[in-house]
Structure 1
């Protein structure tokens, strides 16, 4: 265990002297990695299944078509929803400059997807002057150009807020007001509102909308229709859902699907 209580996972991909190294593993539904960190930055991507990734600052929903940039030494935990085919990349420090200094969800273009899969087919010590070197250079370019998506839901620390968050994740369509949640969480609505502002910098309504849109994006990426995704996360009006989705992600729900 490390000094901060997290388990530093050391893999061969973190020790090889290459700018990046690919990692492929399939997980069963419901698996949990536990809190850990890596010495190298990661690009977490899955060709199948949804990953729920938690960091100290935020929670991320990562469906196929999206990837999560995790900086080196950042503590995180991955939970799988359905069977997950993870195809991740580890970046050496000098190559990690193409990424972010904080965790961020990236849009994965068809080209980047194929590049990740091609990197997974290369040997660990690929030829830097050959195909592996060309793949690594293209991956660096695509990661740097990939759109950053607002799929982060600020994490909550207060036990009362966490109980509220667990209830909403279980039922994103819940119509309960903050006052009704307060009665179940053992705190006044005023106290919860103050805690939301203090911990996330946003009010309850905005935090709930952020959570709902992240859940909707995951449903759309798994093939749900915009109407079904809207209903599942609590939108009674398809136009209202479409407007909120476009404002958050810059595309229509149909394009997000």
Structure 2
């Protein structure tokens, strides 16, 4: 059952909130009557929603529109900085959940938000900072750290099996046999329900699991082998292709 949490904004468009989590902590299913930007400074947070899962690496953020049911799973010691945003603050705030790039400017603005007064004069510096934060949120770049959940029970069963045996070399033929379905039918239903091909979904599931394991301090080689990659270099090439840097550079 989901709990709804409320915030009082008064004059200001958002409320900043800082919270640190310990490894292994969880937040049960809940929702807010406002939008939420959760910025992760360290560790990794997995955000589950009815539509799928998001993994938030350090230095990135997750955007949750008002009313989004979600639960959190914490890996590593997580330092989180959150903005709870009045959904009426802007008409063009992002309308869907997404992992987002936090620009250096937005990162510093989030820090500055903690010293802003609750009440401020129109046209003042404080008002301009509040408005600039909203401008930066509106222009955030979405990142591909989302693992969509299919709708049918058959495909949900398959996806859970893949997560449980993520190191297996899951081919579409093997997946189709697991659920007694033809490859062609599997491909059609998978694309329709997740907007990803089966192969893309498996690669993304492995990347998200890799982010969690690397945040736990596992070596790159161990993560590569545990996730079914034949070598350190094959895993690093995949990681660099998606993330833009090597795993060791990313978590340094």
User: What interval of TM-score do these two structures reach, taking the shorter chain for normalisation?
Assistant: 0.7 to 0.9
Which of residues 3, 13, 20 in structure 2 aligns to 1:7?
3
Of 33, 36, 47, 1:42 maps to 36
Please report how far the alpha carbon of residue 232 of structure 1 lies from its aligned counterpart in structure 2 after TM superposition.
Answer: 4.3
**Alignment pair present for 1:17 and 2:11:** yes
Q: TM-score, normalised by structure 1?
A: 0.76
After superposition, give the CA deviation of every residue in 1:185-228 in whole Å (9 maximum; x if it has no partner). 6x214365554234213332221012122333455667766555
Which residue is 1:188 aligned to?
Answer: 180
**Distance 1:99-1:226 versus aligned 2 partners, 3 A rule:** farther
Once the 2 structures are TM-superposed, how far is the Cα of residue 180 of structure 1 from its aligned partner? 5.0
Match for residue 61 of structure 1 among 41, 47, 55:
55
Report Cα offsets for 1:159-201 as digits up to 9, x if no partner.
3433433344345333344555567x6x214365554234213
| Counterparts of 1:111 and 1:219, CA distance in 2 | 29
CA RMSD of aligned residues (A): 3.2
Give distance in 1, aligned partners of 2:109 and 2:164. Answer: 35
Aligned length: 246
Deviation at 1:128, TM superposition (A): 5.0
Match of 1:69, SS? strand
Matched, 1:253 2:249: no
Q: Distance in 1 between matches of 2:77 and 2:92?
A: 30
After TM superposition, give the deviation of residue 243 of structure 1 in Å: 4.7
Query: Is 1:136 matched up with 2:123?
Result: no
Structure 2 stretches lacking a partner, 5+ long: none
Q: TM-score, normalised by structure 2?
A: 0.78
Taking the TM superposition and a 5 Å limit, the aligned residue runs for 1:43-192 are 43-97=37-91, 99-123=93-117, 125-127=118-120, 130=124, 132-178=126-172, 180=174, 187-190=179-182
How far residue 153 of structure 1 moved from its aligned partner, in angstroms, is: 0.9
CA distance in 2, matches of 1:224, 1:98: 40
1:46 is paired with a residue whose SS is strand
Q: Which runs of 5+ in 1 are unaligned?
A: none
Does the CA-based 8 Å contact 1:63-1:222 persist in structure 2?
no
